[in-house]
Each structure stands twice: as structure tokens, then as C-alpha cells.
């Protein structure tokens, strides 16, 4: 009985070892290939403001760098508007400083002198009224003289009261509401000045990043509106490759994994790249998957970032992607997770 059990045990052990090796090999340790295309990345370049094109510095096929000036608008209108707004801002700033600082001591002294003058006039008018009153009581004066003296005294008193109120206003200073209004007007001019300065800067069209000019849509002297295309730029840095991986091989890749890319050109060295993005949703499949066969048809979009220092790759070019052999330790770690 024991002799029969031993061969059975050996057969089971050998079978389990073979099954383990087969499952490990089937689990994705070997390298595999994907196909893809260099992504077409283009941008239409236009001015943020309208005007007349004064200069164009590049032409179709030229390589440009990020921040390079590609075209200029006629700046004379922007500069004149900027000078006008700056003058208005300076005027409002001076008015605000005046209101905030209050009246000068010289102005207050002048108001005080005016009050003193009105007081002297009032005293003289009061004395003339007293003399006219005495003459009227003695019968040597007339009623008209008395009435004229009283009217002159009342007028002098009113002028004195007006001067005193003016002096009080001078001493108090300007109203808080007037100061707040002047501050708001100054802030509004400051904002307008910044907008005009930005518009003047936007009269220069600059490249957002490195690339190649595909087409020059406008010529010097043309009047363009804001947002109207002037250049079409093909972005070359970084180079992106679009590919798709099946649901079966999805577990064998991860973001940041280094890959190699080959083109159809004979003798060209492979390019180095890395997986930068893996889509979280499947494509080209129905929303509801009910069979195992349909599950194997799932594909996920990839984006690979490729090093192309010599500028060999062209947009739309087909490439073959080699995903390297997965290390055993990485597979085991993935199994543990």
C-alpha cells in the first residue's frame, strides 16, 4: 500500500511544480509589444487684442522656442491710450492726496484773516447804527439814515457768520465721503492702467512652447481681431505617443515604467520613453460585459512620454512599443498587494 502511495505523491508534486511554472509564465513575466502613433499636437496662435500686424518674425517650417516672439502689432494706439490713462491716474492721485492731507495752514490762516476783517466791519457797522439811533432820538437824524445803518450792520453780521463757518470747515478738513470717492476713482484708474499695460504687452505674440510653425495664416499689414489665428504651431516638446493595451495585459504595466520605441526606419536606434498615463476606463466595448470573451476585448488608452532630442519623430508617425520583461520581485509584490 505504501509503495503505491509514493509514486502518486511524486506525480502530484511534479504536476504542481509544472502548474506553478506555467502560471508564472502566463502571468506576464515576458516582454511584449504594443503599437501606437505619435500624437498630433497643434495650437492656433492668435493675439489677445486686435490691431494691425506690424512685423512677423517666423515663417512656415521654422523651429521656435518657448517664449519666443513671433509677431508684433502696431503699438502706437496702445501707447497713446496708455499715456492718456496714466495722466488721468496722476490727476486723480494728486486730488486724492490733497483731500487726504486736508487744508494747508496757509489756507486756514487766510480764512482766519477773513474772519478778522469781517469782525472789524461788523464793529464799525454796529457803531454807525448806534450813532444813527442817538441822532434819531434827539430829532437831528432821519429815519432813513437809521434804517440804512441797521441794514449795513445786519449785512456785516451775516458776512461775519459766513466767514466763521468757512474757517470752521477749513479747520475740520474735507468730508470722509469725498476722500472715499477720490480713493475709489484712483483705484479705478489704477485698474484701467494695468489693463492697458497688459494690452500693450499682448501686442506681442509669443510661442507657448517649443515647436515648428506649420502655417502662417496672416501677413504684415493685415488687420486682425482678438483671437483670429495668425500661426499654426506644432508642439514638439514633450513628444507624446498614444497606444492601447488589452485588458489581459493591463496588469503588466504601470505609470512610470520605462519602455523602448521603434519606428519603421531601418537602422534607427530605439527611443527611450516611459508610461505617463493609463486610462481608468475601457474603450471600444459595450457598457455591460456579460461574457468572458467580451472581457478580453477591453482596451485601455495609454500615453507615453518619449525622449527625442534629435527631433526625429513626427506627429502621426506609427511606432512599435516594447514593454520590458517584468521582474519576478515586481510580480510577487503585485501578487501580495
Sign of the Cα torsion 326, 328, 334, 335 reads: positive
- pLDDT, one tens digit per residue, over 287-335 is 555 555 555 567 888 888 888 777 788 888 899 998 887 644 343 333 3
Pull the grid cell for residue 299.
482596451
- Whether 190 is in a domain gets the answer yes
Neighbour order of strands in the sheet with 211-216: 42-46, 229-235, 211-216, 63-64
Helix, strand, or coil (residue 12): helix
pLDDT of residue 18: 57
DSSP E strands in the chain: the ranges are 32-38, 42-46, 51-56, 63-64, 69-73, 204-206, 211-216, 223-224, 229-235, 239-246, 258-262, 271-278, 299-306, 318-323
103, 91: one domain: yes
48, 143: one domain: no
- Measured in residues, the chain has a length of 337
pLDDT of residue 259: 92
Which of 48-57, 197-206, 279-288 has the lowest average pLDDT?
279-288
The distance from CA 79 to its chain's CA centroid, rounded to whole angstroms, is: 23
Pull the grid cell for residue 265.
526606419
- Whether 164 is in a domain gets the answer yes
90, 178: one domain: yes
Helices (H), 224-304: 292-295
Confidence of residue 105 (pLDDT cuts 50, 70, 90): confident
The distance from CA 288 to its chain's CA centroid, rounded to whole angstroms, is: 42
Q: What is the CATH number of the domain that holds 208?
A: 2.40.50.100
- Whether 6 is in a domain gets the answer no
120, 175: one domain: yes
Give CA separation, 223 vs 15, 27, 180, in Å. 81, 63, 42
171, 124: one domain: yes
For residue 238, whether the previous peptide bond is cis, meaning omega lies within 30 degrees of 0, is yes
Confidence (pTM)? 0.60
Mean pLDDT computed over 196-206: 96
Q: Report the alpha-carbon distance of residue 52 to residue 196 in Å, rounded.
A: 17
- pLDDT, one tens digit per residue, over 112-131 is 899 999 999 999 999 988 88
144, 213: one domain: no
- Whether 13 is in a domain gets the answer no
Among the listed residues 243, 250, 244, 260, the one whose alpha carbon sits nearest the alpha carbon of residue 306: 260
Q: Report the alpha-carbon distance of residue 306 to residue 313 in Å, rounded.
A: 9
Q: What is the CATH number of the domain that holds 270?
A: 2.40.30.170
**pLDDT > 90? residue 70:** yes
100, 112: one domain: yes
- pLDDT, one tens digit per residue, over 14-40 is 555 555 555 455 544 577 888 888 887
- pLDDT, one tens digit per residue, over 217-259 is 999 999 999 999 999 998 887 888 999 888 888 888 889 999 9
- Whether 19 is in a domain gets the answer no
pLDDT of residue 98: 85
- Whether 2 is in a domain gets the answer no
Among the listed residues 18, 19, 29, 43, the one whose alpha carbon sits nearest the alpha carbon of residue 211: 43
Torsion of CA 228, 233, 238, 239, to 10 degrees: 120
Confidence of residue 203 (pLDDT cuts 50, 70, 90): very high
Confidence of residue 10 (pLDDT cuts 50, 70, 90): low
Q: Is 331 left (phi over 0), alpha (psi -120 to 50) or beta?
A: alpha
258, 220: one domain: no
191, 217: one domain: no
Mean pLDDT computed over 192-221: 94
The percentage of residues in the chain with a pLDDT greater than 70, rounded to a whole number, is: 83
How many structural domains comprise the chain? 3
191, 208: one domain: no
Confidence of residue 77 (pLDDT cuts 50, 70, 90): very high
126, 111: one domain: yes
Mean pLDDT computed over 48-61: 95
Mean pLDDT computed over 178-194: 93
pLDDT of residue 186: 94
- Whether 152 is in a domain gets the answer yes
pLDDT of residue 62: 93
193, 211: one domain: no
pLDDT of residue 136: 83
Q: Is 102 left (phi over 0), alpha (psi -120 to 50) or beta?
A: left
State which residues form the domain around 243. 30-39+237-336
- Whether 15 is in a domain gets the answer no
pLDDT of residue 28: 47
**Top mean-pLDDT range of 65-79, 160-174, 226-240:** 65-79
* Average pLDDT over the chain, rounded to an integer: 83
pLDDT of residue 16: 58
Amino acid at each position: 500500500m505504501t509503495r503505491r502511495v509514493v509514486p502518486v505523491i511524486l506525480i502530484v508534486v511534479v504536476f504542481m511544480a509544472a502548474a506553478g511554472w506555467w502560471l508564472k509564465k502566463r502571468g506576464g513575466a515576458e516582454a511584449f509589444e504594443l503599437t501606437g502613433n505619435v500624437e498630433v499636437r497643434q495650437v492656433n496662435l492668435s493675439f489677445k487684442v486686435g490691431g494691425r500686424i506690424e512685423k512677423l518674425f517666423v515663417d512656415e517650417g521654422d523651429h521656435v522656442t518657448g517664449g519666443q516672439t513671433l509677431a508684433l502689432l502696431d503699438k502706437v494706439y496702445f501707447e497713446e491710450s496708455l499715456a492718456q490713462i496714466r495722466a488721468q491716474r496722476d490727476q486723480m492721485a494728486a486730488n486724492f492726496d490733497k483731500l487726504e492731507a486736508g487744508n494747508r495752514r496757509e489756507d486756514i490762516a487766510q480764512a482766519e484773516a477773513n474772519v478778522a476783517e469781517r469782525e472789524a466791519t461788523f464793529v464799525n457797522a454796529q457803531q454807525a447804527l448806534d450813532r444813527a439811533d442817538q441822532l434819531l432820538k434827539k430829532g437831528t437824524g432821519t429815519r432813513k439814515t437809521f434804517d440804512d445803518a441797521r441794514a449795513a450792520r445786519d449785512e456785516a453780521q451775516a458776512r461775519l457768520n459766513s466767514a466763521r463757518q468757512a474757517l470752521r470747515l477749513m479747520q475740520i478738513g474735507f468730508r470722509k465721503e469725498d476722500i472715499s470717492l477720490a480713493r475709489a476713482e484712483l483705484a479705478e484708474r489704477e485698474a484701467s492702467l494695468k489693463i492697458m499695460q497688459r494690452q500693450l504687452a499682448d501686442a506681442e505674440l509669443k510661442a507657448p512652447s517649443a515647436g515648428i510653425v506649420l502655417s502662417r495664416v496672416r501677413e504684415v499689414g493685415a488687420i486682425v481681431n482678438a483671437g483670429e489665428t495668425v500661426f499654426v504651431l506644432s508642439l514638439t516638446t514633450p513628444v507624446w505617443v498614444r497606444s492601447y493595451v488589452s485588458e489581459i495585459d493591463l496588469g503588466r504595466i504601470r505609470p512610470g515604467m520605462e519602455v523602448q520605441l521603434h519606428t519603421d526606419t531601418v537602422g534607427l536606434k530605439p527611443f527611450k520613453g516611459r508610461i505617463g498615463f493609463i486610462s481608468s476606463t475601457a474603450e471600444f466595448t459595450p457598457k455591460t460585459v456579460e461574457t468572458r470573451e467580451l472581457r478580453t476585448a477591453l482596451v485601455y488608452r495609454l500615453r507615453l512620454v518619449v525622449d527625442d532630442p534629435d527631433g526625429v519623430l513626427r506627429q502621426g508617425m506609427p511606432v512599435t512599443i516594447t514593454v520590458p520583461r517584468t521582474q519576478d520581485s515586481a510580480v510577487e509584490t503585485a501578487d501580495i498587494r
